[in-house]
Every structure is written in C-alpha cells, then in structure tokens.
Structure 1
Amino acid sequence: MNKHWKQTFDIVQKAEKKIIGLMSGTSLDGLDIALCTLKGHGRRTEARVERFKTVPYTAEWKAEVKAIFSRHDADLERVCLLNEQTAIVHADMILSTLNEWNLKPADIDLIASHGQTIFHAPRALHGYENYPNGTLQIGDGDHIAVKTGIITLSDFRQKHLAAGGEGAPLAVYGDYLVFSKKGENRIMLNIGGIANFTFLPGDEDSKRVFSSDVGPGNTLMDQYMQQYFSQHFDQDGAVAGRGESNQDLLTALLDHPFFSAGMPKTTGPELFNLAYLESAQHRSATSGLSHEDVMATLCHFSARAIADAVLRTNEKSISLFMSGGGMHNRLLVSMLKELLPDALFFTTADLGIDPDAKEALLFAILANETMSGEPQPFSAESGIPSVCMGKISLPF
C-alpha cells in the first residue's frame, strides 16, 4: 500500500486527531491558523482549540489578491498564478507558526484549508439561467500538502455546490455538531465581511436547523473606511459613532430583493460593495452626506440586516453567540442589542471557543467528518446538503 494512503487509513481510525484549520476571509486581514484536537465524530464530536494565531498579510499581498477579488474583469493569468502562490504563502505561514509553537509537521495529522474566496456566484447573483451556483477559492491543496508534508483537505465548497447547495454558509455543519444544546434555541452569528448565522433549535431536530447569509457584516464599512479614511476598518465603530444614521439612505440600502428572499441564501462583496452604496445614495438623494454620517448609516444597515433576519426565525427565546471581526465593533453590537431586546447576547468564548478561531475550527471539524464521520440527516428544504466535504491532497 502507498505509504501516504496507509497514513491516511491510520488517521481515519485515530480516536483523537490533531488538525490545523485555516481560514482567510474576505477582509484579507491575514491567515487564521487554529491547532485543534478532535475526538469522535458526528454528534459525539469533542473539539478543542489548542493554539491559535492570525498571521497578518503584508500590504503588498493584500494588493495582489484585491487585484482579482470579486472582479468581473480579473486577469486570468493572475488568477492562475495566485492559485498556486496563495498556497505557497499559506504553507510558509503554517511552517513558521509550527516552528514558533515548537511543533513539527509530523505532530499534525491533517490540514483543513478553506483557501481564499475570490468570487462567489450563486444563481441569485449571476442570473444566468443555464448555469449552476458557483464559487471559487484559490490556494491549491496539493501545494500545501507537498510543501508542509502534511495531508491536506481543501476545496470544501465544491461538494456543497455539486449536491445542490450554494457553497455557503458551511458553518452549519460544525455548529450543529458542536454547539447544539437541548432546551436552548441558539443562533451562532458570525459577523465577518458578510454576516451569517446558524439557527440551532432547542429540540435538536436536525431538520429544523438552517444556516444563511443575511447581508453585509463588515464589508461595506471596511471598503468605505479604506476609500475615505485610509484605514482598514472602523476601530470600535469610532468613526460611525461621530455621525448620525440617515433614514433615507438606510431605506435605500435595504431596498433589494435579497432581503425579502427566503432563507437560506448566500451573497458576497460581488453585491454589497461601494457601487451598491453609490446607487443607494443616488436613489435617496443623499450623496452630500458627511463621511461620518455614511459610516453611521452603514453600521445601522448591517445591524438591521442581521436583526431582521434573526426576527424571521419567529423564536421568542434566543441565545445569540457572536464570532467574527464585527463582534469587536462596539457600536454595531450596541445597535444589535437595541434591535433585539429579547435576545441574550454572548460570544463563543462563553462556550470555550475563541471567537476569532471559530471559523478555522469549523473547517477542522469538516475535515474530521470527511475522514471519520457520516453525512448528517439535514432536510432538503433547509438547503443543507447531507454530504462530507473536502478534497484530499497527499504530500508526495
């Protein structure tokens, strides 16, 4: 037997696995690296984050990726080259971090790599009748496996598409396995570039579980801050806090079929970008607003999109657990609490998981399920295909 397939077979049967989960989001802050211990599988999964680090990207690397990110006119040669180069950059970051943690590649069973999304194209966005849902992540798994010497699972979203899903959100699989609690209705809210949540009913009925994007989290605020304030994001909502939300602009921003469409649904910066804001300002005759007032309105926009979606669950008693960069925006969180007065607010730290590490952990859980688990019995109506995901790359 090929030695790497034997190694894979041995890993499948391990009672406990050491898996590195990787996440690089649309904010392009850096690569999240979570060293996770996974025991069991399915509803018996026990997950623990042993070490976590975000390795920041250089300004030069961010510019490289932004040159092809969510662009209809992206240069195909650059896309091709960055698919390979992203993997090499990520592999170097993994090796450097392992060395910092006094670990060797041989100490790690698997890498679970999300890659870097550069375009997300569900039918609802692309509008081409004869084409399927689509999404594209760069960062080739074979390069990571060969350079690190660690078996790598990657390209998780493609199986989701092939089985009829939209390729996102994938958090529902790990959320259901690890965070469900009998007797408590939970919402696992991730406020990244795009905000999404998983609804976990207290009766633990998998057929009632669903996960959905709900609209912009940080993406529009971040884009506006970068354009007009030369800052990557609005620290603590300080800039937005100096302005006043404009109702006419807010109404125009919320006037899009995405918000009235049923859940689950997905979206991305392909829709929610500065061109979307410019159109809303034109329609609402608010182009003369101060930058601070625009930021206040964009913050209110994100809060309304999230709160309106939570209210559509029609559950009176909800415990809401936050993760993602947006949970650090104090103004955004205060708006959410005002809009959702009956919800109890927590972060995943209250469940023993670093909120910043949660997404990387979820991909480690997906890899564990692919190696040792079985598809969970979600309902077709929920938009959650009952599949295991991730392509396996061997290090030779």
Structure 2
Amino acid sequence: NYLVLGFVNGIACGFSIPISWTFGAKDYVEMRRYTANAVWLSVFFAAVLTVVTVAMTRSILVWTNTPDNIIDLADIYIRTIFIGIPFTLLYNMTSALMRALGDSKRPLYFLLVASFLNIGLDLLCIITFKMGVFGAAFATVFSQAVAGLGSLWYILKHYNELRWNKEESRLSRQHCVKLCGMGIPMGLQCSITAIGSVVLQGAVNGLGSDIVAAQTAGGKAAQFLSVPLESIGTAMTTYASQNMGAHDLNRVNKGVNTALGIGCVYSVASFLILRVLDKALIGLFLESSQTEIMANAQSFIFWNSVFYIPLAVLIIYRYTIQGLGYSSLAMFAGVAEMIARAMVGFLFVPLWGYFAACIANPVAWFFACFFLIPAYIVVFRKLKQEKARPHANL
C-alpha cells in the first residue's frame, strides 16, 4: 500500500520545492510556470499509477506471501485504495502547494476534516451498512476526495498569484525536468523504503495471521502519534526551500536546530502517552478477548515508540536536505532503510520471530540517521562555500 501511496506523496512534496524556491525569491512568473507544469505532471502520474497498480494488486499480495485466509479481503481493500490514487495525489499536491506558499494552517484544517469524515464513514459503512473492508477503503478514498476538492476550491478562490496566463501554462521541458528532478527521487525514496517493508512483511506473514494482526494493530496505534513528526519534517521542506530561495542559509540551520528540539520533546511525550494508552488504542482495532494478539501489539508499540527520537532526527534531516534541493541524496537514506528492513526480514525474523519484526523499524531509522546526519553537514557546508548562490535554472 505505502509502496505506491508513498511515491504519490513524495512526488507531490518534490513538485512543491521549486515552487517554494521561486516564492521565496519573489519570482512569481516562474512560480506560476512551475505550478502549471506540476499540474500537468500530476495528471500524468495519477493516470499511469492508477492503471498499473489496479492491474497488479493481486500479484503484489501474492509476492508478499499474504495468508490465504485474508488475501481476498486484502485485494478488495488495496484495489479500492489504488482506484482512489487521483484523489490522493490531488490532496497531497494541493496541500504541498499551500505549504510552499507559506500556508500550513489550511492543509491542517482540510486534513482534520478528512480524518473526522473518514472515522464517521468507517462507522457508517462498516457497522451500519455492513460493507466490510470495501467500506473501510471507500471511506478513506471518499474522505481524501473531499479534502482534495476542498483544497482545490480554496486555492482557486484565494490564491490569485497562482492564476497563470496562457503562456505560463504551456508545458515546458525545462520546468518538467526540474520538477521531476525533485519529485521522482522523493517518490522513489518513499517507495524504496517501502520495498524493505514489503520484504519484512513477507517474512512476518509467514508467522501466521495472528502475528500479522498484532503487527497491524500495533503499527496503526504507534503511527497515530508518529504522524506529527512527519508534519514537522514537511514543514522543514517548505522552510528550507523558501529560505534557500531567499539565500538565507543561517535561518535554515536555526530552523533545523529548533525542529530537532521540538521533535525530541515530542518523541519523549509520545512514548509516555503510549505507555499509558497503548491498550486503549489497540482496542480500537482488536477485541478485548484477543489477549495474546493484544500483548504482541503492545510489544510492537513499545519497541517502536522508545526509539521515536532517532525517527525525529531522520525525518527532520531528510526533509531539510530535500528542501535544499538534494532529493537524490536524501533518497539514499531510503536505500539504507530498505536494506535494514530487508536484512531483518531475511536474517532475523526466521531466527528471532516476532521480536525481530518489532525492532525492524528502529534498526532502519538508525541506518538512515548514520547516513543523513553527515550528509546534511556536507550539503550545508557546500552551500555556504557557494555563498548561497540561487539555483541558476530556476
């Protein structure tokens, strides 16, 4: 699932970087040209990804050793999610565009609307209409469609500076190359990271459906409090790219240090919250009678949340490097994560069983940090030596 949706989110964030650069440099003509070409590219990627992924859903599930007793349900759920890729890309692109122009509040508002709508539709479709996994997937797609269309409406109504003329809206090879140079590496980074997760998931699937259920429930509960860390990272992409456009690298470094402080404090608070509320959160996905599965889910939450600080460090440095224009370099952090998760899946799950699955994410986070921290230092020093010259081909 994230193998594809992560790519969608990555290209949307990447497309917004040149837009943010030109906004920071106050070059509004180029900003509109980048925006128009980002729209054309988004339409292309949405069409291609939807057709390919819907056609390959069953094969992907077979490749990952999905247990026979859940493969049909997984097929229905994931195929429905893939059908909604155009809406997913619409929401991610409009949100990234608003953040690129310095508006981080509206994307949050539309995200909250989508989240509450998703919860309400989940209850309606699953409990009232008995639509099962299709209902859960439909609720997700419909909620993202509402958020995406709402964001688009807001942009068209309130962002007059983005209204391009006929000449600015033309497809430009130069602008498309720059956009793809930012977007595709960011998308691939997410997909490469997910490949390791797919390999790991294949190993975990071999441990049985109860273990899969525990890992899934624990992962969802842990993700509930790790998502804000991604928001900090996304903010750093915009912050770094705007200040890059304004040629103020010192502010970038100050922002990184501030974000690291916020991320560390939040990580500790999240760990403490999960120690108290883990069982309650797991109860949203499992029945209280499933005591062994719940205990395994709690173990997964513990071993992930106790290492939220390296996750925060990873996210902040990775997104900052991307905002500075080095998406390809940041992609190698995804390679490090992929190698770590695949290594755990191939070598340690057969030896240590479920415990190896619990520590796979932290191992991957440490691998990525070992690459990203020195990478950021090298990038920052290089840009300082160049005296923060603007990108010549913006």
TM-score between the two structures when normalised by the length of structure 1: 0.30
Work out which structure has the larger RCO, using CA pairs closer than 8 Å and 6 or more positions apart in sequence: 2
TM-score between the two structures when normalised by the length of structure 2: 0.30
Higher strand share: 1
Higher helix share: 2
